[in-house]
Structure 1
Amino acid sequence: MGNSTRSGVLIVMPAWNEAEAIGNTIREVRRIASHHDILVVDDGSKDQTAWIARQAGATVLKLPFNLGVGGAMRTGFKYAIRNGYSAVVQVDSDGQHDPHDIDRVVAGLSHADISIGARFAGRGSYDAKGPRRWAMSFLAQVISMVAGTRLTDVTSGFRAANERALHQYIEHFPTEYLGDTIDSLVVAIKSGCTVTQVPVEMKARQAGTPSQSPWKATLYLARSGLVLCFALARRKSPREHLVPSSGDIAGEGSVQA
Protein backbone atom coordinates (compact mmCIF):
# COMPACT_ATOMS: atom_id res chain seq x y z
CA MET A 1 0.00 0.00 0.00
CA GLY A 2 1.12 3.55 -0.81
CA ASN A 3 4.38 2.61 -2.59
CA SER A 4 5.93 4.67 -5.39
CA THR A 5 4.21 2.71 -8.15
CA ARG A 6 0.78 3.78 -6.92
CA SER A 7 -1.09 7.02 -7.49
CA GLY A 8 -0.86 8.36 -3.95
CA VAL A 9 -4.69 8.45 -3.86
CA LEU A 10 -6.61 6.29 -1.39
CA ILE A 11 -10.19 5.25 -2.10
CA VAL A 12 -12.08 5.03 1.19
CA MET A 13 -15.35 3.07 1.35
CA PRO A 14 -17.34 3.37 4.58
CA ALA A 15 -19.45 0.22 4.89
CA TRP A 16 -22.17 -0.93 7.26
CA ASN A 17 -23.75 -4.33 6.60
CA GLU A 18 -22.96 -4.22 2.87
CA ALA A 19 -22.04 -7.89 2.43
CA GLU A 20 -24.37 -8.27 -0.55
CA ALA A 21 -22.89 -5.41 -2.57
CA ILE A 22 -19.36 -4.67 -1.43
CA GLY A 23 -17.56 -7.53 -3.16
CA ASN A 24 -18.77 -6.57 -6.63
CA THR A 25 -18.22 -2.88 -5.88
CA ILE A 26 -14.57 -3.45 -4.95
CA ARG A 27 -13.91 -5.70 -7.93
CA GLU A 28 -15.37 -3.13 -10.32
CA VAL A 29 -13.36 -0.30 -8.77
CA ARG A 30 -10.18 -2.38 -8.96
CA ARG A 31 -10.86 -3.16 -12.61
CA ILE A 32 -11.43 0.47 -13.60
CA ALA A 33 -9.23 2.38 -11.13
CA SER A 34 -6.54 -0.17 -10.35
CA HIS A 35 -3.89 2.54 -9.86
CA HIS A 36 -5.54 3.62 -6.59
CA ASP A 37 -5.50 1.71 -3.30
CA ILE A 38 -8.77 0.81 -1.59
CA LEU A 39 -9.53 0.99 2.12
CA VAL A 40 -12.85 -0.30 3.46
CA VAL A 41 -13.80 1.00 6.90
CA ASP A 42 -16.23 -1.59 8.27
CA ASP A 43 -18.44 0.50 10.51
CA GLY A 44 -19.42 -2.16 13.05
CA SER A 45 -21.14 -4.48 10.56
CA LYS A 46 -22.93 -7.57 11.88
CA ASP A 47 -22.61 -9.46 8.60
CA GLN A 48 -19.63 -10.63 6.49
CA THR A 49 -18.79 -7.19 5.08
CA ALA A 50 -15.18 -7.19 6.33
CA TRP A 51 -14.38 -10.73 5.21
CA ILE A 52 -15.88 -10.22 1.74
CA ALA A 53 -14.04 -6.92 1.32
CA ARG A 54 -10.70 -8.56 2.14
CA GLN A 55 -11.43 -11.42 -0.25
CA ALA A 56 -12.15 -8.87 -2.99
CA GLY A 57 -8.74 -7.28 -2.51
CA ALA A 58 -9.30 -4.26 -0.25
CA THR A 59 -7.50 -3.34 2.94
CA VAL A 60 -10.02 -3.37 5.79
CA LEU A 61 -10.23 -1.51 9.08
CA LYS A 62 -12.99 -2.91 11.28
CA LEU A 63 -14.53 -0.60 13.87
CA PRO A 64 -15.83 -2.33 17.03
CA PHE A 65 -19.24 -0.64 16.80
CA ASN A 66 -21.20 1.58 14.45
CA LEU A 67 -19.98 5.20 14.43
CA GLY A 68 -21.81 6.40 11.32
CA VAL A 69 -20.39 7.62 8.03
CA GLY A 70 -18.66 10.59 9.64
CA GLY A 71 -16.78 8.45 12.15
CA ALA A 72 -15.84 5.90 9.50
CA MET A 73 -14.50 8.56 7.16
CA ARG A 74 -12.52 10.24 9.92
CA THR A 75 -10.85 6.87 10.52
CA GLY A 76 -10.06 6.66 6.81
CA PHE A 77 -8.59 10.17 6.75
CA LYS A 78 -6.26 9.36 9.66
CA TYR A 79 -5.16 6.14 7.97
CA ALA A 80 -4.39 8.04 4.77
CA ILE A 81 -2.23 10.65 6.49
CA ARG A 82 -0.37 8.09 8.58
CA ASN A 83 0.38 6.01 5.49
CA GLY A 84 1.60 8.85 3.30
CA TYR A 85 -1.32 9.26 0.89
CA SER A 86 -1.71 12.68 -0.67
CA ALA A 87 -5.47 12.48 -1.32
CA VAL A 88 -8.60 10.54 -0.39
CA VAL A 89 -11.68 9.96 -2.50
CA GLN A 90 -14.83 8.70 -0.76
CA VAL A 91 -16.78 6.07 -2.71
CA ASP A 92 -20.00 4.38 -1.62
CA SER A 93 -19.71 0.66 -0.91
CA ASP A 94 -23.15 -0.07 -2.37
CA GLY A 95 -22.05 0.49 -5.97
CA GLN A 96 -23.97 3.70 -6.66
CA HIS A 97 -20.86 5.73 -7.51
CA ASP A 98 -19.58 5.00 -11.01
CA PRO A 99 -15.89 3.98 -10.83
CA HIS A 100 -15.34 5.64 -14.22
CA ASP A 101 -15.91 8.98 -12.44
CA ILE A 102 -13.31 8.45 -9.71
CA ASP A 103 -10.45 9.99 -11.67
CA ARG A 104 -12.73 12.80 -12.84
CA VAL A 105 -13.44 13.71 -9.21
CA VAL A 106 -9.76 13.39 -8.23
CA ALA A 107 -8.79 15.59 -11.19
CA GLY A 108 -10.70 18.46 -9.56
CA LEU A 109 -7.97 18.56 -6.91
CA SER A 110 -5.61 20.05 -9.48
CA HIS A 111 -7.25 23.44 -8.79
CA ALA A 112 -9.08 22.97 -5.45
CA ASP A 113 -8.64 21.35 -2.05
CA ILE A 114 -12.01 19.56 -2.13
CA SER A 115 -13.66 18.14 -5.26
CA ILE A 116 -17.33 17.13 -5.15
CA GLY A 117 -18.87 14.61 -7.54
CA ALA A 118 -22.08 16.49 -8.35
CA ARG A 119 -25.24 14.64 -9.40
CA PHE A 120 -27.04 17.78 -10.60
CA ALA A 121 -24.44 19.21 -12.95
CA GLY A 122 -25.48 18.06 -16.39
CA ARG A 123 -24.54 14.36 -16.45
CA GLY A 124 -26.64 11.28 -15.82
CA SER A 125 -30.34 10.88 -15.08
CA TYR A 126 -30.31 11.10 -11.28
CA ASP A 127 -33.14 13.24 -9.98
CA ALA A 128 -34.74 14.21 -6.71
CA LYS A 129 -38.18 15.74 -6.39
CA GLY A 130 -40.40 17.50 -3.89
CA PRO A 131 -39.22 18.72 -0.47
CA ARG A 132 -36.00 16.71 -0.71
CA ARG A 133 -34.97 18.51 -3.90
CA TRP A 134 -36.00 21.89 -2.53
CA ALA A 135 -33.89 21.36 0.58
CA MET A 136 -30.89 20.23 -1.49
CA SER A 137 -31.20 23.29 -3.73
CA PHE A 138 -31.41 25.63 -0.74
CA LEU A 139 -28.35 24.11 0.89
CA ALA A 140 -26.43 24.33 -2.38
CA GLN A 141 -27.32 28.01 -2.86
CA VAL A 142 -26.24 29.01 0.63
CA ILE A 143 -22.96 27.09 0.55
CA SER A 144 -22.23 28.40 -2.95
CA MET A 145 -22.31 31.91 -1.50
CA VAL A 146 -19.97 30.88 1.32
CA ALA A 147 -17.57 29.15 -1.09
CA GLY A 148 -17.67 31.89 -3.72
CA THR A 149 -18.32 29.35 -6.48
CA ARG A 150 -21.40 27.65 -7.91
CA LEU A 151 -22.13 24.28 -6.29
CA THR A 152 -25.19 22.20 -7.12
CA ASP A 153 -24.83 19.10 -4.92
CA VAL A 154 -23.31 19.84 -1.53
CA THR A 155 -24.82 16.69 0.07
CA SER A 156 -22.96 14.34 -2.28
CA GLY A 157 -20.79 11.77 -0.54
CA PHE A 158 -18.73 11.22 -3.69
CA ARG A 159 -15.90 13.65 -3.02
CA ALA A 160 -12.13 13.92 -2.91
CA ALA A 161 -9.81 15.85 -0.60
CA ASN A 162 -6.13 16.72 -0.93
CA GLU A 163 -3.63 16.68 1.91
CA ARG A 164 -4.49 20.22 2.97
CA ALA A 165 -8.17 19.31 3.35
CA LEU A 166 -7.36 15.98 5.00
CA HIS A 167 -5.55 17.70 7.86
CA GLN A 168 -8.52 20.00 8.30
CA TYR A 169 -10.97 17.07 8.19
CA ILE A 170 -9.05 15.12 10.83
CA GLU A 171 -9.41 18.04 13.21
CA HIS A 172 -12.98 19.09 12.45
CA PHE A 173 -14.86 16.35 10.54
CA PRO A 174 -18.02 15.49 12.53
CA THR A 175 -18.21 11.88 13.71
CA GLU A 176 -21.98 11.63 13.54
CA TYR A 177 -23.81 11.03 10.25
CA LEU A 178 -26.18 13.95 10.64
CA GLY A 179 -24.61 16.87 8.84
CA ASP A 180 -21.30 15.19 8.05
CA THR A 181 -21.25 16.46 4.47
CA ILE A 182 -22.70 19.90 5.23
CA ASP A 183 -20.86 20.74 8.44
CA SER A 184 -17.51 19.43 7.22
CA LEU A 185 -17.79 21.36 3.95
CA VAL A 186 -18.71 24.69 5.54
CA VAL A 187 -16.01 24.41 8.21
CA ALA A 188 -13.41 23.48 5.58
CA ILE A 189 -14.37 26.49 3.45
CA LYS A 190 -14.24 28.82 6.45
CA SER A 191 -10.80 27.39 7.27
CA GLY A 192 -9.50 28.44 3.87
CA CYS A 193 -10.01 25.32 1.73
CA THR A 194 -11.19 25.82 -1.83
CA VAL A 195 -13.98 23.73 -3.38
CA THR A 196 -14.93 22.68 -6.89
CA GLN A 197 -17.42 20.24 -8.36
CA VAL A 198 -17.28 17.68 -11.17
CA PRO A 199 -20.37 16.27 -12.96
CA VAL A 200 -20.88 12.57 -12.23
CA GLU A 201 -23.45 9.86 -12.87
CA MET A 202 -25.18 7.71 -10.27
CA LYS A 203 -26.07 4.04 -10.59
CA ALA A 204 -28.67 1.92 -8.83
CA ARG A 205 -27.59 0.05 -5.70
CA GLN A 206 -26.08 -3.34 -6.55
CA ALA A 207 -27.84 -5.04 -3.62
CA GLY A 208 -29.39 -4.42 -0.25
CA THR A 209 -31.78 -1.68 0.72
CA PRO A 210 -31.17 2.05 1.14
CA SER A 211 -30.34 3.11 4.68
CA GLN A 212 -32.81 5.98 4.34
CA SER A 213 -36.40 5.96 3.10
CA PRO A 214 -37.57 9.01 1.10
CA TRP A 215 -39.16 10.37 4.28
CA LYS A 216 -36.01 9.85 6.33
CA ALA A 217 -33.90 11.38 3.56
CA THR A 218 -36.15 14.45 3.56
CA LEU A 219 -35.93 14.69 7.35
CA TYR A 220 -32.15 14.37 7.15
CA LEU A 221 -31.94 17.23 4.69
CA ALA A 222 -34.23 19.38 6.84
CA ARG A 223 -32.00 18.73 9.81
CA SER A 224 -29.02 19.53 7.62
CA GLY A 225 -30.45 23.03 7.32
CA LEU A 226 -30.14 23.35 11.10
CA VAL A 227 -26.61 21.96 10.94
CA LEU A 228 -25.84 24.54 8.27
CA CYS A 229 -26.96 27.35 10.58
CA PHE A 230 -24.64 26.13 13.35
CA ALA A 231 -21.77 25.68 10.89
CA LEU A 232 -22.18 29.20 9.53
CA ALA A 233 -22.25 30.57 13.07
CA ARG A 234 -18.87 29.07 13.88
CA ARG A 235 -15.85 31.29 13.93
CA LYS A 236 -13.26 30.67 11.25
CA SER A 237 -10.70 28.02 12.09
CA PRO A 238 -7.11 29.29 12.15
CA ARG A 239 -5.63 29.01 8.65
CA GLU A 240 -2.20 28.23 10.07
CA HIS A 241 -3.41 24.72 10.99
CA LEU A 242 -3.71 23.88 7.30
CA VAL A 243 -0.78 22.49 5.38
CA PRO A 244 0.09 24.42 2.20
CA SER A 245 -1.74 23.39 -0.95
CA SER A 246 0.55 21.33 -3.16
CA GLY A 247 -1.16 21.83 -6.53
CA ASP A 248 -1.41 18.59 -8.44
CA ILE A 249 -1.40 15.98 -5.69
CA ALA A 250 -2.42 12.88 -7.55
CA GLY A 251 0.93 11.72 -8.84
CA GLU A 252 2.34 11.70 -12.34
CA GLY A 253 0.04 10.17 -14.91
CA SER A 254 -2.58 9.08 -12.38
CA VAL A 255 -5.44 11.43 -13.20
CA GLN A 256 -7.40 11.75 -16.37
CA ALA A 257 -10.07 14.42 -16.66
Structure 2
Amino acid sequence: MGGTDFRVLIVVPCYNEEEAIATVVAEINYIKHQYGLNLDVLVVNDQSTDNSLAVIQKLDCLYLNLPVNLGIGGAMHAGYKYAFRYGYDVAVQMDGDGQHPAEELPKVLQPIFEGRADVVIGSRFLERTGFQSTYVRRLGITYFRWLNQSLIGKAIHDSTSGFRAFNRRTICITNAYYPDEYPEPESIVQFGLHKLRILEVPVIMRERQGGTSSITLAKSIYYMFKVTMGTLFVYIRLQNKQRNYGVVTDCYSDT
Protein backbone atom coordinates (compact mmCIF):
# COMPACT_ATOMS: atom_id res chain seq x y z
CA MET A 1 0.00 0.00 0.00
CA GLY A 2 3.01 2.34 0.23
CA GLY A 3 3.14 5.19 2.74
CA THR A 4 6.22 3.95 4.61
CA ASP A 5 7.68 7.48 4.49
CA PHE A 6 4.73 8.89 6.44
CA ARG A 7 4.76 9.02 10.23
CA VAL A 8 1.32 7.85 11.32
CA LEU A 9 -0.26 8.18 14.76
CA ILE A 10 -3.33 6.10 15.56
CA VAL A 11 -5.27 7.90 18.30
CA VAL A 12 -7.56 5.60 20.28
CA PRO A 13 -9.87 7.34 22.76
CA CYS A 14 -10.64 5.07 25.70
CA TYR A 15 -13.33 5.35 28.34
CA ASN A 16 -14.12 2.13 30.23
CA GLU A 17 -12.92 -0.18 27.45
CA GLU A 18 -10.99 -2.72 29.53
CA GLU A 19 -12.68 -5.59 27.67
CA ALA A 20 -11.66 -4.49 24.19
CA ILE A 21 -8.66 -2.14 24.31
CA ALA A 22 -5.93 -4.80 24.37
CA THR A 23 -7.32 -6.48 21.25
CA VAL A 24 -7.68 -3.12 19.48
CA VAL A 25 -4.01 -2.24 20.07
CA ALA A 26 -2.82 -5.75 19.14
CA GLU A 27 -4.76 -5.67 15.85
CA ILE A 28 -3.33 -2.27 14.92
CA ASN A 29 0.22 -3.40 15.69
CA TYR A 30 -0.31 -6.49 13.55
CA ILE A 31 -1.33 -4.34 10.56
CA LYS A 32 1.64 -2.06 11.27
CA HIS A 33 4.07 -4.95 10.88
CA GLN A 34 2.18 -6.55 8.00
CA TYR A 35 2.42 -3.41 5.87
CA GLY A 36 5.70 -2.06 7.26
CA LEU A 37 4.10 1.20 8.37
CA ASN A 38 5.92 3.86 10.37
CA LEU A 39 3.11 3.88 12.88
CA ASP A 40 2.58 4.53 16.59
CA VAL A 41 -0.52 3.85 18.66
CA LEU A 42 -1.57 6.46 21.23
CA VAL A 43 -4.34 5.44 23.63
CA VAL A 44 -5.98 8.40 25.39
CA ASN A 45 -7.48 7.25 28.67
CA ASP A 46 -10.33 9.64 29.44
CA GLN A 47 -10.39 9.00 33.20
CA SER A 48 -11.89 5.52 32.88
CA THR A 49 -13.54 4.25 36.04
CA ASP A 50 -12.86 0.58 35.27
CA ASN A 51 -9.51 -1.21 34.91
CA SER A 52 -8.68 0.33 31.52
CA LEU A 53 -5.60 2.26 32.65
CA ALA A 54 -3.96 -0.80 34.19
CA VAL A 55 -4.60 -2.73 30.97
CA ILE A 56 -3.25 0.08 28.78
CA GLN A 57 -0.03 0.37 30.79
CA LYS A 58 0.85 -3.22 29.87
CA LEU A 59 0.30 -2.76 26.12
CA ASP A 60 2.77 -2.04 23.32
CA CYS A 61 1.60 1.54 22.79
CA LEU A 62 1.95 5.13 23.87
CA TYR A 63 -0.72 6.48 26.19
CA LEU A 64 -2.03 9.64 27.76
CA ASN A 65 -3.92 9.55 31.06
CA LEU A 66 -6.13 12.63 31.16
CA PRO A 67 -6.44 14.26 34.60
CA VAL A 68 -10.21 14.79 34.18
CA ASN A 69 -12.89 13.29 31.95
CA LEU A 70 -13.12 15.45 28.81
CA GLY A 71 -15.44 13.38 26.62
CA ILE A 72 -14.65 12.08 23.15
CA GLY A 73 -13.91 15.51 21.68
CA GLY A 74 -11.51 16.46 24.44
CA ALA A 75 -9.76 13.10 24.29
CA MET A 76 -9.31 13.37 20.53
CA HIS A 77 -8.16 16.98 20.81
CA ALA A 78 -5.43 15.81 23.20
CA GLY A 79 -4.42 13.17 20.66
CA TYR A 80 -4.30 15.65 17.77
CA LYS A 81 -2.23 18.06 19.86
CA TYR A 82 0.19 15.21 20.51
CA ALA A 83 0.33 14.41 16.79
CA PHE A 84 1.00 18.06 15.95
CA ARG A 85 3.63 18.58 18.65
CA TYR A 86 5.61 15.48 17.71
CA GLY A 87 5.49 16.03 13.97
CA TYR A 88 3.29 13.20 12.71
CA ASP A 89 2.23 13.39 9.06
CA VAL A 90 -1.05 11.50 9.52
CA ALA A 91 -3.39 11.03 12.47
CA VAL A 92 -6.11 8.38 12.51
CA GLN A 93 -8.97 8.07 14.96
CA MET A 94 -10.02 4.52 15.84
CA ASP A 95 -12.48 3.78 18.62
CA GLY A 96 -11.34 1.80 21.65
CA ASP A 97 -14.39 -0.48 21.64
CA GLY A 98 -13.28 -2.62 18.69
CA GLN A 99 -15.87 -1.36 16.18
CA HIS A 100 -13.18 -0.40 13.68
CA PRO A 101 -11.27 -3.46 12.39
CA ALA A 102 -7.59 -2.72 11.92
CA GLU A 103 -7.60 -4.54 8.57
CA GLU A 104 -9.68 -1.61 7.25
CA LEU A 105 -6.87 0.86 8.03
CA PRO A 106 -5.32 0.74 4.53
CA LYS A 107 -8.59 1.99 3.05
CA VAL A 108 -8.56 5.21 5.07
CA LEU A 109 -4.80 5.72 4.86
CA GLN A 110 -4.22 5.24 1.14
CA PRO A 111 -6.00 8.44 -0.07
CA ILE A 112 -3.89 10.43 2.41
CA PHE A 113 -0.68 8.74 1.27
CA GLU A 114 -1.58 9.46 -2.36
CA GLY A 115 -2.40 13.13 -1.67
CA ARG A 116 -6.01 12.76 -2.81
CA ALA A 117 -7.63 13.99 0.41
CA ASP A 118 -7.01 16.00 3.56
CA VAL A 119 -9.68 14.15 5.55
CA VAL A 120 -10.75 10.55 4.93
CA ILE A 121 -13.86 9.20 6.65
CA GLY A 122 -14.52 5.48 6.84
CA SER A 123 -18.20 5.00 6.00
CA ARG A 124 -20.34 1.96 6.73
CA PHE A 125 -23.13 3.27 4.48
CA LEU A 126 -21.46 3.55 1.06
CA GLU A 127 -21.65 -0.19 0.43
CA ARG A 128 -23.89 -1.08 3.41
CA THR A 129 -21.90 -4.06 4.61
CA GLY A 130 -21.06 -5.02 8.16
CA PHE A 131 -22.71 -3.48 11.23
CA GLN A 132 -25.11 -0.70 10.23
CA SER A 133 -25.97 0.77 13.66
CA THR A 134 -29.48 1.07 15.09
CA TYR A 135 -32.48 2.48 13.25
CA VAL A 136 -32.65 5.52 15.55
CA ARG A 137 -28.99 6.34 14.96
CA ARG A 138 -29.36 5.92 11.21
CA LEU A 139 -32.17 8.49 11.28
CA GLY A 140 -29.89 10.87 13.14
CA ILE A 141 -27.06 10.29 10.69
CA THR A 142 -29.41 11.04 7.78
CA TYR A 143 -30.37 14.30 9.49
CA PHE A 144 -26.73 15.30 9.98
CA ARG A 145 -26.02 14.52 6.32
CA TRP A 146 -28.76 16.99 5.37
CA LEU A 147 -27.47 19.58 7.87
CA ASN A 148 -23.89 19.37 6.63
CA GLN A 149 -24.98 19.55 3.00
CA SER A 150 -27.06 22.63 3.78
CA LEU A 151 -24.15 24.40 5.46
CA ILE A 152 -21.11 23.43 3.36
CA GLY A 153 -22.66 21.93 0.22
CA LYS A 154 -21.21 18.47 0.78
CA ALA A 155 -23.13 15.34 1.73
CA ILE A 156 -21.34 13.00 4.11
CA HIS A 157 -23.11 9.66 4.37
CA ASP A 158 -21.57 8.65 7.71
CA SER A 159 -21.01 11.95 9.49
CA THR A 160 -20.83 10.35 12.95
CA SER A 161 -18.11 7.87 11.95
CA GLY A 162 -15.22 7.83 14.39
CA PHE A 163 -12.95 6.09 11.87
CA ARG A 164 -11.13 8.91 10.08
CA ALA A 165 -7.68 9.93 8.91
CA PHE A 166 -6.20 13.44 8.77
CA ASN A 167 -3.16 14.73 6.91
CA ARG A 168 -0.68 17.22 8.37
CA ARG A 169 -2.70 20.28 7.35
CA THR A 170 -5.80 18.91 9.07
CA ILE A 171 -3.76 18.00 12.15
CA CYS A 172 -2.61 21.61 12.26
CA ILE A 173 -6.22 22.82 12.18
CA THR A 174 -7.39 20.39 14.85
CA ASN A 175 -4.42 21.30 17.04
CA ALA A 176 -5.82 24.83 17.23
CA TYR A 177 -9.48 23.87 17.67
CA TYR A 178 -11.58 20.73 17.77
CA PRO A 179 -15.23 20.46 18.89
CA ASP A 180 -15.80 18.86 22.27
CA GLU A 181 -18.18 16.13 23.46
CA TYR A 182 -19.62 14.84 20.11
CA PRO A 183 -17.20 16.27 17.56
CA GLU A 184 -17.59 14.16 14.43
CA PRO A 185 -20.58 15.93 12.74
CA GLU A 186 -19.47 19.36 13.96
CA SER A 187 -15.92 19.00 12.67
CA ILE A 188 -17.17 18.28 9.15
CA VAL A 189 -18.44 21.86 8.95
CA GLN A 190 -15.12 23.08 10.35
CA PHE A 191 -13.24 21.16 7.65
CA GLY A 192 -15.61 22.27 4.90
CA LEU A 193 -15.17 25.95 5.73
CA HIS A 194 -11.40 25.46 5.74
CA LYS A 195 -11.77 24.14 2.17
CA LEU A 196 -10.30 20.77 3.08
CA ARG A 197 -10.76 17.87 0.68
CA ILE A 198 -13.08 15.42 2.44
CA LEU A 199 -13.35 11.91 1.07
CA GLU A 200 -15.50 9.00 2.24
CA VAL A 201 -14.36 5.44 1.66
CA PRO A 202 -16.39 2.28 2.31
CA VAL A 203 -15.33 0.28 5.35
CA ILE A 204 -16.76 -2.63 7.29
CA MET A 205 -17.47 -1.99 10.95
CA ARG A 206 -18.32 -4.35 13.78
CA GLU A 207 -20.56 -4.04 16.79
CA ARG A 208 -18.67 -2.80 19.83
CA GLN A 209 -16.61 -5.61 21.33
CA GLY A 210 -17.03 -4.56 24.95
CA GLY A 211 -18.28 -1.82 27.25
CA THR A 212 -21.33 0.34 26.65
CA SER A 213 -21.98 3.23 24.29
CA SER A 214 -21.77 6.77 25.65
CA ILE A 215 -24.89 7.66 23.60
CA THR A 216 -27.93 5.94 25.04
CA LEU A 217 -31.52 6.17 23.81
CA ALA A 218 -32.32 8.53 26.67
CA LYS A 219 -29.57 10.89 25.45
CA SER A 220 -30.61 10.82 21.78
CA ILE A 221 -32.77 13.96 21.86
CA TYR A 222 -30.11 15.85 23.80
CA TYR A 223 -27.48 14.59 21.36
CA MET A 224 -29.43 15.82 18.31
CA PHE A 225 -30.03 19.25 19.88
CA LYS A 226 -26.50 19.65 21.19
CA VAL A 227 -24.80 18.60 17.96
CA THR A 228 -27.10 20.84 15.89
CA MET A 229 -26.31 23.85 18.07
CA GLY A 230 -22.60 23.00 18.09
CA THR A 231 -22.54 22.63 14.32
CA LEU A 232 -24.30 25.96 13.84
CA PHE A 233 -21.88 27.59 16.30
CA VAL A 234 -18.86 26.31 14.37
CA TYR A 235 -20.43 27.51 11.10
CA ILE A 236 -21.25 31.02 12.40
CA ARG A 237 -17.88 31.37 14.10
CA LEU A 238 -15.86 30.52 11.01
CA GLN A 239 -18.15 32.50 8.72
CA ASN A 240 -17.53 35.56 10.88
CA LYS A 241 -13.78 34.95 10.61
CA GLN A 242 -14.06 34.80 6.85
CA ARG A 243 -16.06 38.02 6.70
CA ASN A 244 -13.69 39.88 9.02
CA TYR A 245 -10.32 38.47 7.93
CA GLY A 246 -10.88 36.80 4.57
CA VAL A 247 -11.02 33.08 3.80
CA VAL A 248 -9.72 30.99 6.70
CA THR A 249 -6.83 29.05 5.21
CA ASP A 250 -4.09 29.47 7.83
CA CYS A 251 -4.41 26.50 10.17
CA TYR A 252 -2.77 28.43 12.99
CA SER A 253 -5.37 31.21 12.89
CA ASP A 254 -8.40 29.15 14.02
CA THR A 255 -8.18 29.92 17.73
1:61-105 CA distance string (max 9 Å, x none): 111111111111111111111111101000011111011111211
Residues 92-107 of structure 1 mapped to structure 2, 5 A cutoff: 92-107=95-110
Distance 1:222 1:127, change over 3 A: farther
SS at match of 1:60: strand
CA distance in 2, matches of 1:241, 1:43: 30
1:53 aligns with 2:56: yes
CA distance in 1, matches of 2:221, 2:122: 21
Taking structure 2 as the reference length, the TM-score comes to 0.84
Contact in 2 for aligned 1:13/1:91 (Cα 8 Å): yes
CA distance in 2, matches of 1:28, 1:6: 21
Distance 1:5 1:188, change over 3 A: closer
SS at match of 1:196: strand
Displacement of 1:222 in angstroms is 4.2
Partner of 2:197: 194
Partner of 2:158: 153
Partner of 1:134: 139
Taking structure 1 as the reference length, the TM-score comes to 0.83
Partner of 2:244: none
Any gaps of 5 or more consecutive residues in structure 1? 244-257
CA distance in 2, matches of 1:235, 1:19: 38
The alignment of Structure 1 onto Structure 2 pairs a total of residues equal to 238
CA distance in 1, matches of 2:236, 2:124: 28
Contact in 2 for aligned 1:33/1:102 (Cα 8 Å): no
Residues 1-257 of structure 1 mapped to structure 2, 5 A cutoff: 7-34=6-33, 35=37, 36-109=39-112, 110-128=115-133, 130-174=135-179, 176-178=180-182, 180-217=183-220, 219-236=222-239, 237=241, 238-242=247-251
CA distance in 1, matches of 2:5, 2:210: 30
Aligned alpha-carbon RMSD (Å): 2.3
Percent of residue pairs bearing the same amino acid type: 34
SS at match of 2:126: coil
Distance 1:111 1:6, change over 3 A: closer
Distance 1:78 1:177, change over 3 A: same
